[in-house]
Amino acid sequence: MPSQLASLKQWVDDVARLTQPDQVHWCDGSDAENAKLVELMLANGDLHKLNEQSHPNCYLHRSSPQDVARVEHLTFVCTTNPADAGPNNHWMEPAEAHAQMDALYAGCMRGRTMYVVPYCMGPIDSPLSRCGVEITDSPYVVANMRIMTRMGAAAQARIEREGKFVKGLHSIGELDPNRRFIMHFPEELSIQSFGSGYGGNALLGKKCHALRIASYQARTEGWLAEHMLIVGIENPKGETHYVAAAFPSACGKTNLAMLIPPEGYRRDGWKVWTVGDDICWMHPGADGRLYAINPEAGYFGVAPGTSEKTNANAMAMLNHDAIFTNVGVTADGQPWWEGMTTGTPAQDWQGRPYDKAVSPAAHPNARFTVSARQCPSYTDKAEDPQGVPLSAIIFGGRRASLVPLVLEARDWTHGVLVGASMASETTAAATGAVGVVRRDSMAMKPFAGYNFGDYFAHWLSFDKPGAQLPKIFQVNWFRKDADGKFMWPGFGDNLRVLEWVLKRATGQAGALETPVGNVPKPSDLNTDGLGLDAAVLEQLLAVDREGYKAEMASIGEYLEEFGDRTPHALKAERAKIAAQLA
């Protein structure tokens, strides 16, 4: 037996001794295996079959009402030195964390099957991909990991060849919120999760591996693991440029990744290609450009708010072979959530008769899991082993005021500052208050596996001789007027902004220089057929100098949180902008 397989088998045996399952099943990812798991979950109530005529091979899962979102306050990064985890993470000493988790895991799988899930994040034959193995006692996790990753025999073969993989151990335990932890050990490339069956806490290939552990891996190996969509924009000349964009959860990432061009743009021949909607791994290529892969093979998207109007591509991929979590159901067994324009819910997400006064039909963080290949805008570039070359990187968030519709960073250092100082109003994707403005650097606040100061320095390190780096931009689709109404239509019309972004990236458009970055003149944006008032557009592009003076002071305080780990270049860039504003 090759030593790589022996070490994997040894770890599986050790975990089985600790957790004491009734049986151990090594997953091969086959259709037959999946069919058996679905049958098992239908029998035990983990899944409910949806309308076979309208939604063939679609199932509903209801999680425990106390287990519906990521739990950032119970998520730890366990490094030898607490400063390496940084103030952006909750820290626990590794030995203490292991002791705590071992006590929880002891005998926790009695009466259950332990599933061994080998998976690959990224195209199975890509040098940019990385592998992992998740051990879990949840068949729901197995079914989701099969959709979300390249899971099974091919991944196991790659692991046996390479010998290096991220170890993930998960048990739903008793689903007790008081016995729930998600621990990350970046120095060991391992993850331990207990007490939750919810997506990001339980599908360990997703945020835990693809962001927290991968960001640490990426720093040591010279690449970037980011919370970004990847989208290809094809212009009427047939040229496709790829953009990566970071937004906090529920800020329209999936809608942008699957954008449908406005009618006039479609007529002219514009097309949009979805490479990924959530996570982006970027590696420098031999030509100095950054090349990106989507490590995921599926979408774990927020359902409420997804509709024919907001994201017709997403709706088109959800009528077969999908798993829905915590959505409502119509009387004839179709999935339903707030934002849908057809159907009427009969049951809410907890299986109770629907009563609007008691509960929304779907939980605000209800999800769908579906293969990326089902998306009408899917491109086979998502399976390109070399990845796609990036022309632009975009940072965005929910800001009701201050931040213009779009601005361009002057250079890479300024762009890193723009990303580092991103702020957004919180949404239902994380536990806690909704609508609070918080700094969320690169939309990575809950996901960076090490100190943000070191993370900013790692970003800056890519600006070296010979690098052909993408231009960096900031967007804000969420500006509101005095009456609290959104000023920009958003959705498909965001392509109007992306057109300017790509023209800037290829040197084909002008801009107005301001102390906080370059903004388009109103005439630089194509607003044909939009019916947008000229005064509104001017306001959307205006730079509020007084407001930005306060913002720069706030950014300065934020950067100080990371002490001497904050790169001097970032502090100097902030000071330069503050001086220009003054």
- Residue 430 has a pLDDT of 60
Length of the chain: 582
Identify the burial level of 403 via C-beta atoms within 10 angstroms of its C-beta, where 0-12 means exposed, 13-18 middle and 19 or more buried.
buried
Closest CA relative to residue 37, chosen from 111, 109, 98, 115? 115
Identify the burial level of 1 via C-beta atoms within 10 angstroms of its C-beta, where 0-12 means exposed, 13-18 middle and 19 or more buried.
exposed
Encoding tokens for residue 286?
């031999």
The residue annotated as part of the active site, out of 27, 251, 280, 375, is 251
Those residues whose C-beta lies under 8 Å from the C-beta of residue 371, and which sit 6 or more positions away, are: 147, 297, 298, 321
Q: What is the mean pLDDT of residues 521-546?
A: 97
Going by pLDDT thresholds of 50, 70 and 90, the confidence category of residue 3 is low
Q: Are 218 and 290 in contact (CB under 8 A)?
A: no
- Residue 427 has a pLDDT of 62
Q: How many other C-beta atoms lie within 10 A of the C-beta of residue 145? A: 31
255 labelled binding-site residue: yes
507 labelled binding-site residue: no
Q: Are 427 and 304 in contact (CB under 8 A)?
A: no
Which residue would you say has higher pLDDT here, 306 or 428? 306
- The C-alpha angle 183, 185, 191, rounded to 5 degrees, equals 55
Q: Tell me whether residue 251 is one of the annotated catalytic residues.
A: yes
pTM assigned to the model: 0.96
Does 8 have pLDDT greater than 70? yes
Which residue would you say has higher pLDDT here, 66 or 251? 66
Domains of the chain in start order, with CATH, are 3-51+68-222 (3.40.449.10), 226-296+382-581 (3.90.228.20), 299-374 (2.170.8.10)
Residues 406, 253: Cα–Cα separation, whole Å: 16
Does 308 have pLDDT greater than 80? yes
368 labelled binding-site residue: no
Q: What number of CA atoms fall less than 13 Å from residue 374's CA on the CB side?
A: 18
Does 352 have pLDDT greater than 70? yes
Q: What is the mean pLDDT of residues 507-511?
A: 97
State how far the alpha carbon of 476 is from the alpha carbons of 191, 424, 435, 479, 494, in Å.
Answer: 34, 10, 16, 7, 10
Q: Are 446 and 72 in contact (CB under 8 A)?
A: yes
Residues 203, 28: Cα–Cα separation, whole Å: 17
Whole-angstrom Cα Rg for the chain: 23
Q: What is the mean pLDDT of residues 495-507?
A: 98
Does 5 have pLDDT greater than 90? no
Concatenated DSSP letters of 258-288: T----HHHHHHT-EEEEEESS-EEEEE-TTS
Residues 323, 364: Cα–Cα separation, whole Å: 17
Please give the single-letter amino acid code of residue 459. W
Helix (H, G, I), strand (E, B) or coil at 236: coil
Cα–chain center distance at 555 = 24
Q: Quick one: what percent of the chain has pLDDT higher than 70? A: 98
First to last CA, the chain: 69
Going by pLDDT thresholds of 50, 70 and 90, the confidence category of residue 432 is low
State how far the alpha carbon of 394 is from the alpha carbons of 44, 83, 472, 565, in Å.
Answer: 45, 29, 6, 25
Does 1 have pLDDT greater than 60? no
Question: Angle between the 412-420 and 452-460 helix axes, to the nearest 10 degrees?
Answer: 160
Q: Give the range among 69-73, 359-363, 503-507 with minimum mean pLDDT.
A: 69-73
Residues 436, 427: Cα–Cα separation, whole Å: 8
Concatenated DSSP letters of 156-196: HHHHHHH---EEEEEE-TT--GGG-EEEEEGGGTEEEEES-
- Residue 434 has a pLDDT of 67
- Residue 436 has a pLDDT of 72
- Residue 252 has a pLDDT of 85
Q: Quick one: what percent of the chain has pLDDT higher than 90? A: 95
Q: Are 172 and 196 in contact (CB under 8 A)?
A: yes
Give phi and psi for 256, each to the nearest 5. -70, -40
450 labelled binding-site residue: no
Q: What number of CA atoms fall less than 13 Å from residue 266's CA on the CB side?
A: 7
235 labelled binding-site residue: no
- Residue 425 has a pLDDT of 77
251 labelled binding-site residue: yes
57 labelled binding-site residue: no
- Residue 2 has a pLDDT of 55
Residues 119, 159: Cα–Cα separation, whole Å: 9
Helix (H, G, I), strand (E, B) or coil at 453: helix
Give phi and psi for 567, each to the nearest 5. -60, 135
Residues 116, 504: Cα–Cα separation, whole Å: 48
227 labelled binding-site residue: yes
Query: Over the chain, what is the mean pLDDT?
Result: 96
493 labelled binding-site residue: yes
Does 277 have pLDDT greater than 80? yes
Q: Are 279 and 228 in contact (CB under 8 A)?
A: yes
Residues 558, 211: Cα–Cα separation, whole Å: 22
207 labelled binding-site residue: yes
Encoding tokens for residue 358?
């008691």
199 labelled binding-site residue: yes
pLDDT digits (tens, 9 = 90+) for 436-493: 778 999 999 999 999 999 999 999 999 999 999 999 999 999 999 999 999 999 999 9
Does 355 have pLDDT greater than 60? yes
pLDDT digits (tens, 9 = 90+) for 536-579: 999 999 999 999 999 999 999 999 999 999 999 999 999 999 99
